[in-house]
Chain A
């Protein structure tokens, strides 16, 4: 794999994570437990669409074949998507959505802080901008996990279930393949394994503050680095890509 190919594939992973997570969050629009939270979740989704746009646009320019952010978002099939499985899982309920946001934002908080030092100036600039947003995402997730954990019996049970059920999707966030190794060597991207202790600490702190149990790690799900996804991604993409696929000659 050339450096260019590795970088292209790696940026797709970042862009896809932002795009697919934003898709799930945007599904809360007009579906949230109350109006203020509807607006808050939409805000997170908007941040992530913006990030996906910047990243996919950059991926297209690295590839150099004239693909835009929209061709990359709307014309790739599920086996060509590289987002983590966690972000494509259906929202399920508010507790699951919040548990996911905690896991992902705790990761991205460390990740984008490290990516700011990238030898690639475009990635470093995107990271600096993203980091400001992520801090807010993490605060939002943290506050809700605590509220739910310390709220009612029911909310505590629900958020604990969500944390337990989706724990098995968290180690994939730190998985590294040959693209990582190649780019880490040149100081372009951070070593993901090195971020794990800080992530675990942040998540543990939040769960403890919410008087929730930290799950014991067992079997962990994997696949997305090779483009192997859950059944859910295909449905998500067929909805998202419907107009672009049905009217391939149209501009919108």
Chain B
């Protein structure tokens, strides 16, 4: 009995010290003591982020073989490769918390781990490649800049590295849109149509209002999160609307209006029902994306097994 009590009060002291440290702005390293709930929260968040980078390769990959110029193909391919690289850093960051990549991929396949909802929308025309770079990477940057100062050091280091590349992506996407808006009538129509389809899902990327966000309180107390979903969304809107206007795109929100008093835009109500539907697996591409990932993983099993077997064999030889 005494022993149990001891452990409990020791834990409580550790927790108090941990929270004090984090409040003071200290970074948490993998070897430091951390509460189990903090570790779990981060594993969920970082692995979800890693899976998003990887699943996001599919909708953009859909246009590699149809890119309309050699330069466009090169930029797109390099961009998708960057996203895969982000997936790798993030898987490594999550692994410092005591979970393996294989386990994380397993959780993705069972549906326990999620990925960003945005990638459950289809890329239907070349303009969608512009819209993804500009809007989706643009929204990701706002979120990720804020995460550069997140309390868990490996995650924050990954964000610093990733953010540099994301701003390239955002510019390249905007360049595609700008070029199309200077092009033929058909190109303009394609660009506006992509804007119409990607605008609202991009706003949903920031998640529900914080009052409806299930893990928000812990995340703030532990300084994993530093800005509310609504704050970040507002930042994105304020930065993006003038960019749209500059190239002649219309934001598909009749309620969008500059609000002098708050120094930002007011916007119309987001369709949270659609958001919930997509999260619950009913988006246009949920099944396709997951199935693709599983199928590729299964098809590649013999290659991974061969590499493992070869490694084991050569390790044996060198130790003999």
Identify the A interface with B (CB < 8 A): 19, 23, 26-27, 29-39, 42-43, 45-46, 49-50, 52-53, 56, 69-70, 73-74, 93-94, 146-148, 150-152, 154-155, 158, 236, 239-240, 242-244, 247, 249-252
Q: In the bound complex, how far is the Cα of B87 from the Cα of A94, in angstroms?
A: 22
- Tell me which of B14-22, B166-174, B182-190, B193-201 binds A: B182-190
Q: Is B249 an interface residue (CB 8 A)?
A: no
Chain B contributes a number of interface residues (CB within 8 A of A) equal to: 47
Which residues of B have CB within 8 Å of A56? 70
Residues 72-112 of B, flagged 1 when their CB comes within 8 A of A and 0 if not, give 11100110110011011001000000000000000000000
User: Across the interface, do B187 and A247 meet the contact criterion of CB distance under 8 Å?
Assistant: yes
Contact B306–A251 (Cβ < 8 Å): no
Count A-B contacts at CB 8 Å: 135
Inter-chain contacts of A38 with B (CB < 8 A)? 57, 84
Beyond the given A46-B81, A147-B307, please list 18 additional residue pairs across the A-B interface where CB-CB is below 8 A: A26-B65, A29-B61, A29-B64, A30-B292, A33-B303, A33-B304, A42-B80, A56-B70, A150-B309, A150-B310, A151-B305, A151-B307, A154-B305, A155-B309, A242-B66, A243-B67, A247-B184, A252-B179
| B interface list, Cβ under 8 A from A | 54, 57-58, 61, 64-74, 77-78, 80-81, 84-85, 87-88, 91, 126, 176, 179-180, 183-184, 186-187, 292, 296, 299-310, 313
Task: Report the minimum CB–CB distance from B129 to chain A (whole Å).
Answer: 10
Is the CB–CB distance between A49 and B77 below 8 Å?
Answer: yes
Contact of B304 among A34, A42, A236 (CB under 8 A): A34
Q: Is the CB of A35 within 8 A of B54?
A: yes
Which residues of B sit under 8 angstroms from A150, Cβ to Cβ?
A: 309-310, 313
A152 x B186 contact (CB < 8 A): no
A sample of 7 cross-chain residue pairs with beta-carbon separation below 8 angstroms, ordered by A number, consists of: A26-B73, A35-B84, A36-B88, A69-B70, A151-B306, A155-B303, A239-B66
Residue of B whose beta carbon sits closest to that of A147: B310
| Nearest-neighbor residue (CB-CB) of A240 within chain B | B65
The 7 lowest CB-CB distance pairs between A and B, nearest first, are: A33-B300, A151-B306, A155-B306, A33-B303, A252-B68, A243-B68, A30-B57
Q: Which residues of A are found within 8 Å of B305, using beta-carbon distances?
A: 151-152, 154-155
**Complex CA distance for A36 and B300, rounded to whole angstroms:** 12
Pairwise interchain contact A35-B81, C-beta atoms closer than 8 A: no
Q: Which residues of A contact B61 (CB under 8 A)?
A: 29-31
Q: Are A94 and B68 in contact (CB under 8 A)?
A: no
Given contacts A29-B80, A30-B57, A30-B80, contact A152 B65 (CB under 8 A): no
Chain B interface helix/strand/loop/mixed? helix
B81 lies within 8 A of A42 (CB): yes
> How far is B182's CA from A106's CA once the two chains are assembled, in angstroms?
45
Q: How far is the CA of A147 from the CA of B64 in the complex (A)?
A: 29
- Please state if B81 and A250 are interface contacts (CB–CB under 8 Å): no
Q: How far is the CA of A154 from the CA of B306 in the complex (A)?
A: 8
With the chains together, A168 CA to B55 CA distance in Å?
38
Q: Tell me how far the C-beta of B9 lies from the nearest C-beta in chain A, rounded to whole angstroms.
A: 44
Contact for B69 among A46, A147, A151, A252, CB less than 8 A: A252
Distance A155 CA – B313 CA, assembled complex (angstroms):
14
Are A43 and B66 closer than 8 Å at their CB atoms? no
CA distance A152 to B186 in the complex (A): 53
Residues of A within 8 A of B58 (CB): 30
- Cβ-defined contact, B184 with A249, below 8 A: yes
Known A-B contacts A26-B65, A35-B87, A50-B74; the reply to A158 vs B80 at CB < 8 A is: no
Name B80's closest neighbour in chain A (CB-CB).
A29
Nearest Cβ on chain A to B251's Cβ, whole angstroms: 24
Chain B residue at minimum C-beta to C-beta distance from A248: B184
For A19, what are the chain B residues with a Cβ–Cβ distance below 8 Å?
70
What's the Cα separation between A56 and B308 when bound, in Å? 41
| Residue from B299, B300, B309 within 8 A of A151 (CB atoms) | B309
Query: B183 and A250: CB pair below 8 A?
Result: yes
- The minimal Cβ–Cβ distance linking A135 to chain B, given in whole angstroms, is 20
Q: CA–CA, A48 to B78, complex, Å?
A: 13
CA distance A73 to B313 in the complex (A): 45
Contacts of A251 in B (CB 8 A): 179, 183
Determine whether the beta carbon of A49 is less than 8 Å from that of B126. no
